[in-house]
Amino acid sequence: MTANRQEIPDAERLIFALDVPDLDQARELVNTLGNHVHFYKLGLEFFLSGHYFTLADELKQLGKRVFADLKLFDIPPTVGRATAQLARREVDFLTVHGNDGMLAEAVANRGRMGILAVTALTSLDRGDLDDLGFDCDVESLVLSRARRALALGCTGVISSGLEVPALRESVDHSLVVVCPGIRPVDNIDEQKRTLTASKAFEAGADYIVVGRPIRDAADPAAAAAGIQQEISNYFN
């Protein structure tokens, strides 16, 4: 187990993707999940609701952590200014999905916020990389981006759990690894490179991101509690 993994409270290793279209639904889910979730990811869908910062502030007042999954991608000065704007809020993580210049500007303007570099989206497979013109396999792309992110001062990376073992073998363990696309059973949606929670942590993940398996469950609180128990069992 790496040093940074030991420093993370077990209850915060689960990041819930609060992908809903409006503030009322978001508040209802936060209330339903209660103490079963301590870390929330707010993405583009909720950003466009117009209530992004209202909810982010409310979550911080409740003692929750906030992950702004905005995948910034623009010319470096714009990424830097956008990061500086967000750094004025109490946000814990921000994703940047860009090249070295974009990542460097985000790091330079992050304040106390952690910058997470997106390596390869979990919805992409080898065929998608071919379509996008990447002349490499997924693992090679992830390792290349992770090494560059670390060199540029990023806090961590977003990576499928399938690539984490290679990351842990080849990249400094101080790099925080956040794994999205976690599924409790065999997967049938658009996420192509997925793992269960336990398998992701076994591979070397620090945090996991779970959305639909909690949000769409008949009992979201019970679903979150079950994942938290799986995390507790693994680390203890």
* d(C-alpha 38, C-alpha 59), whole Å: 9
Say which residue the tokens 């680390």 belong to.
235
Cβ-contact 118, 138 below 8 angstroms: no
Nearest by Cα to 36 from 213, 227, 211, 194: 227
Cα–Cα distance for residue pair 63/170, rounded to 1 Å: 35
At which residue do the structure tokens 């949606």 appear?
189
Of 104, 192, 193, 206, which is closest to residue 157 (Cα–Cα)?
206
Q: Which residues are identified as catalytic?
A: 71
C-alpha 95/C-alpha 85 separation (Å) is 14
Residue 164, classed as helix, strand or coil, is helix
Q: Which amino acid is at 143?
A: L
Calculate the alpha carbon distances from 226 to 117, 186, 215, 219 in Å.
29, 17, 13, 11
Between the CA of residue 176 and those of 20, 147, 205, what are the distances in Å?
Answer: 26, 12, 8
What the block records as the tokens of 231 is 């995390």
